[in-house]
Amino acid sequence: MQTGRTTLSKFLIEELAAGHSDLGSLLIDVAAAVKSISVILAKGALDGALGSLDAQNVQGEVQKKLDVICNETFISQCEWGGQVSGMVSEELEDVYAIPDGNPRGKYILLFDPLDGSSNVDFNVSVGTIFSILAKEDNEPAVTDDFLKPGITQVAAGYALYGPSTMLVLTIGHGTHGFTLDREGGNFVLTHPSILIPEETSEYSINTSNSRFWEPPIARYIAECKAGTSGVRDHDFNMRWIASMVAEVHRIILRGGIFMYPRDTKDPSKPGRLRLMYEANPMAMLIEQAGGWASTGRQRMLEVNPTSIHQRIPVVLGSRREVERVEKYHAEYDAGTDTIFDSPLFGERSLYLEN
Ligand code: AHG
Ligand code: MN
Ligand code: MN
The CATH number covering residue 216 comes to 3.40.190.80
Nearest in space to 27 (alpha carbons), one of 194, 187, 243:
187
Lowest mean pLDDT among 100-104, 138-142, 213-217, 252-256: 100-104
Task: For residue 157, give the CATH number of its domain.
Answer: 3.30.540.10
Give this prediction's pTM: 0.94
User: Phi/psi at 265 (nearest 5 deg)?
Assistant: -60, -50
Kindly state whether residues 108 and 77 are assigned to the same domain.
yes
Cα 285 to middle of ligand 3, angstroms: 18
Q: Of 165, 191, 217, which closes a domain?
A: 191
Same domain, 255 and 162: no
Q: How far is the CA of 64 from the centre of ligand 3 (A)?
A: 9
What is the total count of domains within the chain?
Answer: 2
Ligand nearest to the CA of 116: 1
- Shared domain for 230 and 140, answered yes or no, is no
Nearest CA to ligand 1 atom 7: 116
User: Is 41 in the same domain as 184?
Assistant: yes
Residue 118 sits in the same domain as residue 243:
no
How much distance in Å is there from the Cα of 91 to the middle of ligand 2? 10
88, HSE (Cβ side, Cα atoms, 13 Å): 26
- For ligand 1, what atom is nearest to the CA of residue 59? 4
Do 165 and 245 sit in the same domain of this protein?
no
pLDDT at 339 over 60: no
Residue 276 lies in a domain: yes
> For residue 99, what pLDDT band results from cuts at 50, 70 and 90?
confident
pLDDT tens-digit map of 189-228: 999 999 999 889 999 999 999 999 999 999 999 999 999 9
Q: Is the pLDDT of residue 343 over 50?
A: no
Secondary structure (H, E, C), the chain: CCCCCCEHHHHHHHHCCCCCHHHHHHHHHHHHHHHHHHHHHHCHHHHCCCCEEEEECCCCCEEEHHHHHHHHHHHHHHCCCCCEEEEEECCCCCCEECCCCCCCCCEEEEEEEEECHHHHHHCCCEEEEEEEEECCCCCCCCHHHHCCCHHHCCEEEEEEECCCEEEEEECCCCCEEEEEECCCCEEEEEECCCCCCCCCCEEECCHHHHHHECHHHHHHHHHHHHHHHCCCCCCCEECCCCCHHHHHHHHHHHCCEEEECCECCCCCCCCCEEHHHHHHHHHHHHHHCCCEEECCCCEHHHCCCCCCCCEECEEEECHHHHHHHHHHHHHHHHCCCCCCCCHHHCCHHHHCCC
Same domain, 215 and 267: yes
In a domain, 262, yes or no: yes
Q: What is the pLDDT of residues 46-85, one digit of tens each?
A: 988 899 988 787 777 889 999 999 999 999 999 999 999 9
Whole-angstrom distance, CA of residue 285 vs CA of residue 278: 11
How much is the pLDDT for 21? Answer: 86
- Whether 117 and 257 share a structural domain: no
Q: Looking at ligand 1, which residue's alpha carbon is closest to its atom 11?
A: 244
Please report the atom of ligand 1 found closest to the CA of residue 61: 4
**84-89 and 52-56 as β-strands: parallel, antiparallel, unpaired?**
unpaired
* 65 and 106 fall within a common domain: yes
Residue ranges lining ligand 1, Cβ < 6 Å: 61, 90, 112, 115-118, 206, 242-244, 260, 272
Do 146 and 221 lie in one domain? The reply is no
Residue 196 counted as domain residue? no
**Domain-terminating residue out of 150, 165, 191:** 191
Q: How far is the CA of 241 from the centre of ligand 1 (A)?
A: 9
Q: What is the mean pLDDT of residues 79-94?
A: 96
Please say which residue of 139, 163, 191 terminates a domain: 191
Using the predicted structure, report yes or no on whether residue 340 has a pLDDT greater than 80: no
Give CA–CA dist 227/201, Å, rounded.
9
- Domain-embedded: residue 354: no
Instruction: Give the pLDDT of residue 349.
Output: 42
Q: Are residues 257 and 142 in the same domain?
A: no
Best mutation site among 118, 131, 265 for ligand 1 pocket (most ligand atoms within 8 Å of CB):
118
For a substitution probing ligand 1, which of 260, 277, 282 has the most ligand atoms within 8 Å of its CB? 260
Burial class (CB in 10 A: 0-12, 13-18, 19+), 137: exposed
Q: Are residues 151 and 174 in the same domain?
A: yes
Reply yes or no on whether the pLDDT at 354 is more than 60: no
Domain that holds residue 147: 8-191
**Closest residue to atom 12 of ligand 1, CA basis:** 242
